[in-house]
Amino acid sequence: MWDFLGDRYEQILFSGWQHFSLVVQCLILATVIAVIIASLVYRSKGLTSVVNSVSAIGLTIPAFALIGLLIAPLGFGVTPAVIVVAFFAALPILRNAVVGLSGIAPSIVESARGIGMSRFRTLLQVELPMAWPIILTGVRVSAQMVMGIAAVAAYSLGPGLGGFIFSGLSRSGGANSLESVLTGVIGVIVLALILDLLLVGLGRLTIPRGIRV
Amino acid sequence: MSERNASTSPAPSAASTGITGASILLDHVTKRFPGQVHPAVDGLTMEIPAGKIVMFVGPSGCGKTTTLKMINRLIEPTEGRIVVDGDDVTEMNGDTLRRGIGYVIQAGGLFPHMTVATNIGIVPKMLGWDKARIAARVDELLELVSLDPALYRDRYPKELSGGQQQRVGVARALAADPPVLLMDEPFGAVDPITRLRLQDELLNIQDELQKTIVCVTHDFDEAVKLGDWIAIFNEGAQLEQYDTPERILGDPANEFVENFIGSGAGLKQLTLTRVEEVGLADAVIGNPGERAADVLARVAEAGHGHAVIVDDRHRPIQWLSRRKLGRLDLISAVPDPKLPVVGIRATLNDALDTMLVSSAGAALVTGRRDMFKGVIDVRTVMDAITRSQTAAVLESDKAPVGLNTGMFQAQASAAEAAEAELIGAESSSAQSSSAQSSSAQPIEADGSGADARAAQ
Amino acid sequence: MSTGSLKAEAGIAGGDSAAGLPIAAAATVSRARTVWASWRGLVYQLAGIILAGLALLVWLLTADLSAIELRTLAPAALWVYTLEHLQLTLLAAVIVLVIAIPLGIALTRKPLRFLTAPVLAIANIGQAAPAVGVVVLLALWVGFSFWAATLSLVLYAVLPVLRNTMIGLDQVDARLVEAGRGMGMSATAVLFRVELPLAVPVMLSGVRTALVLLVGTAALATFINGGGLGILITTGVNLSLTTVLVTGALLVALLALLIDWVGRVVEHVARPKGL
Ligand SMILES: Nc1ncnc2c1ncn2[C@@H]1O[C@H](COP(=O)(O)OP(=O)(O)OP(=O)(O)O)[C@@H](O)[C@H]1O
Ligand SMILES: [Mg+2]
């Protein structure tokens, strides 16, 4: 095992970094998209429930099936991996953003409007900051989930640690197959822990002290 | 030991007076939670008489709940014995014990996934009652707590208001007709008006059933209103005073109790007495259509300041001063809407309240059908307070025993002597001696007395 | 004057009693409406699944398929794959329930309570393990087989059920437990009559999550010769048979949605009334 790690630490670090950056970029993209969608729909009960069912149903679709579906039109490569990871990342965030935004007491919004804030400004300066802790929780849930999904996404020859799992699988019985798979699995878990810690740190920095629990 | 058990069990005559409750004795009970330096309950010995309501009050964290839960052994005592109705229950199976003791917690503690009927029927079911008997009992209890069985039987707790849930909670605790009812801040989660109504209802139920009720509360007024006896605890369940509401208000044992009662002890005392229990003053009575001068003459003859005008059914309609009478010619039949009237069942507190806003510094008392009964004035109230204070100091020989180990050891020999025959005697003599040494008169010691005088 | 006010009162009273009937009728209508509202989502979901299934069928029937595609997608073959997939899923699910629920109960009892937090933390970390990695690791250890697949599925799905069992039991209001004990119910009676019924919604949603995870993860079983619908996806990719790939992916997705639907129906029906 140590030999395996020693021989390939550069490749491992590189794949790990790729994996991490794929996930982080997709998370950022997903957060932006989810927050925008949530901001558009949260005022309407009907749209909110539509969005909630979409995210619930989206989460039941197996990642592997979605990759298969995307390989068909897009071929192998980074694109299907990014789409799959971003898609699944967006769902929990979307759900939490809607819950967070619609959970804000109407009186607070009213008082913001009352002192002359525009609707957009209210959203930006009052509602989103107040919903941010819940949104960030959604981001953490997404991050955990998407780390594993990014590994499956390697099936489309996308980047990241999933490659170690699939290469171990294809060389099963051969030398270093177990080491390769273990590297992939443990690497993903470690990355997930690191990212979670970073997100907790982000929460400390970005959640106003007044609404921190 | 056995002799003492005998002395604390309800007297044989209890049954004939309708008491269905059982006496409880906490005997040198200590509870030390793991890792605790000072015990939560420290060597408490306390007698709870059968058929009475005993209220536990004290600052937060002083061990009221712990003491209460040791009675049904939800919390096992570290040391000491619990004796219920003469039987030592410390070693008995806890579940069996609890099936025989009603337990009410804040907001009722109803099981949300069971209907009202199922909730109430849990204990009878565990006791193996048949279905018909349980159903009949459920309806009977719902009637008892003033809920229409047909309407509420099949509802779920979330379909009830807070007050209704609390009523069902009481009904559930009474289901198997337990002799003892334990309540932990039962009315803590309802609004003040509902709380008053629930308190009245509990008193009515208690009139009928005469259970032994032990009730923890944070509301001292509630303790005064409900309690036959009030136990005031300090840190570690130190009993500071264990006595009747009258005596605690009229004669607080120490500074802690005084502070705990807070200001307005005198006013609180007023809630203990009803108007019908004090003597009312007579009044000169006039009728509409009479000449004012005639009435004035009668007022002057009686040496009064006012005349009460009553209608043909003897209901007061006006209350005229000499000055007013002097200016009138004929007495009219128009009722005065601002007449200060109190019912004869009102508390002295209510009466005082009415008097203070009336120009006469007194109030008219009416009985059944609003018939005029007499006049109550501030002096009557003051007299009543003084009398009840003296009475409270004298009438204390029935006080149940309540001691902590520290106190207990200091008076060990005397206490043992007392145990041999009547357990209450020793403590009461100690209390009355302390009462004499600190015979401050609370109504003058605080602002309420001054208020009352100013109103005169 | 007084008769006027009397009449007014009578008028109000009459109005009240007349309004009584419509109110009752409105109540039943609104009850029907809330029943429909609570089922509406489920009905739509089922309709969507059926429609998507039909669309897939029509597409397959009208598509121009090669011989090898026709062979792989023969109804009998598809049926076998689906059954294998379900078999994997359900077997793993049963094993998961048998393990996770008693374990979850045990870990929330007094003597083991101190383990609740650490176990939940480990469960959360374990959740981050990539499913495909777990499947492959298990296969390398146990050998490439149905059983290796089942075992890895169990490992993967035990966590959500265990988690939700513990959380479900944990969130039961401690005062209700105390009320139960206070009226003389034994610890076991309180567990079965108060704690478990109140934990059912959370536990069932954990079971549903686990089932959906299982359906998705069972698609990976094909990598280790464990059977199931995943073989359509890998075959499609390996032989560049787009139709097979898409059919496999859609069937897995529809199966997951269907299982999710069943889970939701069960949750809906089994939720204790009064919550
Ligand atoms: N299960 C427990 N474990 C450890 N300590 C406890 C436990 N229950 C109570 N205590 C401690 O025992 C003391 C008495 O608690 P108890 O609940 O009896 O207070 P209380 O008088 O009922 O207070 P409150 O009025 O706030 O309800 C407190 O210091 C409390 O912290
Ligand atoms: Mg308490």
- Chain A residues with beta carbon closer than 8 angstroms to that of C233: 64-65, 68
Residue C146: inside a domain: yes
The pLDDT of B403-413, averaged and rounded, is 51
Residue C122: inside a domain: yes
The pLDDT of B241-260, averaged and rounded, is 87
Average pLDDT in chain A: 87
- Chain C residues with beta carbon closer than 8 angstroms to that of B111: 176, 179-180, 193-194, 198
Partner residue facing A151 (CB), from C132, C236, C253: C132
Of the pLDDT bands very low, low, confident and very high (cuts 50, 70, 90), residue C25 is low
Q: Is the pLDDT of residue B64 over 90?
A: yes
Q: Is the pLDDT of residue C194 over 50?
A: yes
- On whether the CB atoms of residues C179 and B71 are closer than 8 A, the answer is no
Q: Is the pLDDT of residue B444 over 50?
A: no
**Two structure tokens written together for C223:** 């990598």
Q: Phi-psi category of A183—alpha, beta or left, where left has phi over 0 and alpha has psi -120 to 50? A: alpha
- Domains belonging to chain B, first-starting first, are 24-263 (3.40.50.300), 284-389 (3.10.580.10)
For residue C26, the model assigns a pLDDT of: 60
Chain position carrying tokens 């609004």:
B191
Coil vs helix vs strand at B439: coil
Q: Is the pLDDT of residue B332 over 90?
A: no
Nearest residue of chain C to residue B111 (CA atoms):
C176
Contact C274 B114 (CB under 8 A): yes
- The domain containing residue C240 runs over which residues? 63-270
Condensed to tens digits (0 to 9), the pLDDT of residues A72-114 reads 888 888 888 899 999 999 999 999 999 999 888 888 888 888 8
For residue B394, the model assigns a pLDDT of: 63
- Domains belonging to chain A, first-starting first, are 14-161 (1.10.3720.10)
**Two structure tokens written together for A29:** 């993209």
Of the pLDDT bands very low, low, confident and very high (cuts 50, 70, 90), residue B392 is low
Maximum distance among all Cα pairs of chain B, rounded to whole angstroms: 84
Residue B42 Cα to ligand 1 midpoint, Å, equals 13
Residue B238 Cα to ligand 1 midpoint, Å, equals 14
Contact C181 B98 (CB under 8 A): yes
ipTM field: 0.81
Q: At what angle do helices A2-41 and A78-102 cross, to 10 degrees?
A: 50
- Chain C residues with beta carbon closer than 8 angstroms to that of B98: 181-184
CA distance C160 to chain B (A): 24
Of the pLDDT bands very low, low, confident and very high (cuts 50, 70, 90), residue B9 is very low
In chain B, helix, strand, coil percent, each to 5? 45, 20, 35
Residue B76 Cα to ligand 1 midpoint, Å, equals 14
**String of DSSP letters for B41-88:** EEEEEEEE-TT-EEEEE-STTSSHHHHHHHHTTSS--SEEEEEETTEE
Q: Walk across the sheet containing B362-366 and list its strands.
A: B341-343, B362-366, B372-377
Q: Is the pLDDT of residue B441 over 60?
A: no
The CATH number covering residue C117 comes to: 1.10.3720.10
The pLDDT of A37-61, averaged and rounded, is 88
Coil vs helix vs strand at B451: helix
The pLDDT of A47-55, averaged and rounded, is 87
Amino acid at B149: P
The pLDDT of A107-133, averaged and rounded, is 86
The minimum-distance atom of ligand 1 relative to the CA of B67 is 18
Condensed to tens digits (0 to 9), the pLDDT of residues B355-383 reads 887 777 888 998 878 889 899 988 888 88
* Parallel, antiparallel or unpaired: strands B24-31 and B41-48: antiparallel
Of the pLDDT bands very low, low, confident and very high (cuts 50, 70, 90), residue B393 is low
Nearest CA, atom 5, ligand 1: B33
Contact B105 C179 (CB under 8 A): yes
- Chain C residues with beta carbon closer than 8 angstroms to that of B102: 183
Condensed to tens digits (0 to 9), the pLDDT of residues B103-152 reads 998 887 899 999 999 999 999 999 999 999 999 999 999 998 889 999 99
- What residues contact B51, with CB distance under 8 A and at least 6 apart? B10, B14, B17, B19, B20, B21, B210, B211, B212
Q: Is the pLDDT of residue B154 over 70?
A: yes
Percent of chain B with pLDDT over 90: 32
Q: Is the pLDDT of residue B233 over 90?
A: yes
Q: Is the pLDDT of residue B13 over 60?
A: no
Condensed to tens digits (0 to 9), the pLDDT of residues A168-197 reads 888 877 778 888 888 899 999 999 999 999
Percent of chain B with pLDDT over 70: 82
- On whether the CB atoms of residues B77 and B63 are closer than 8 A, the answer is no
Nearest CA, atom 11, ligand 1: B40
Residue C116: inside a domain: yes
The pLDDT of C74-85, averaged and rounded, is 91
Counting as contact any 3 or more CB pairs under 8 A, the partners of B are C
Q: Is the pLDDT of residue B15 over 80?
A: no
The minimum-distance atom of ligand 1 relative to the CA of B41 is 14
- On whether the CB atoms of residues C221 and C230 are closer than 8 A, the answer is yes
CB pairs under 8 A between A and C: 130
Phi, psi of B125, rounded to the nearest 5 degrees:
-65, -45
For residue B396, the model assigns a pLDDT of: 58
Counting as contact any 3 or more CB pairs under 8 A, the partners of A are C
Chain position carrying tokens 């478990």:
C196
Alpha-carbon span A92 to A27, nearest angstrom: 11
- Chain B residues with beta carbon closer than 8 angstroms to that of C110: none
For residue C38, the model assigns a pLDDT of: 78
Q: What does chain C come to in residues? A: 275
**Full-model pTM:** 0.74
Average pLDDT in chain B: 80
Q: Is the pLDDT of residue C13 over 90?
A: no
* Candidates C31, C176, C177, C183, partner chain B, best to mutate (most B CBs within 10 A): C183
Nearest residue of chain C to residue A156 (CA atoms):
C237
For residue B11, the model assigns a pLDDT of: 38
Alpha-carbon span B175 to B138, nearest angstrom: 7
The structural domain count of chain C equals 1
Residue C155: inside a domain: yes
Please state the three-class secondary structure of C1-21 as a single string. Answer: CHHHHHHHHHHHHHHHHHHHH
For residue B156, the model assigns a pLDDT of: 92
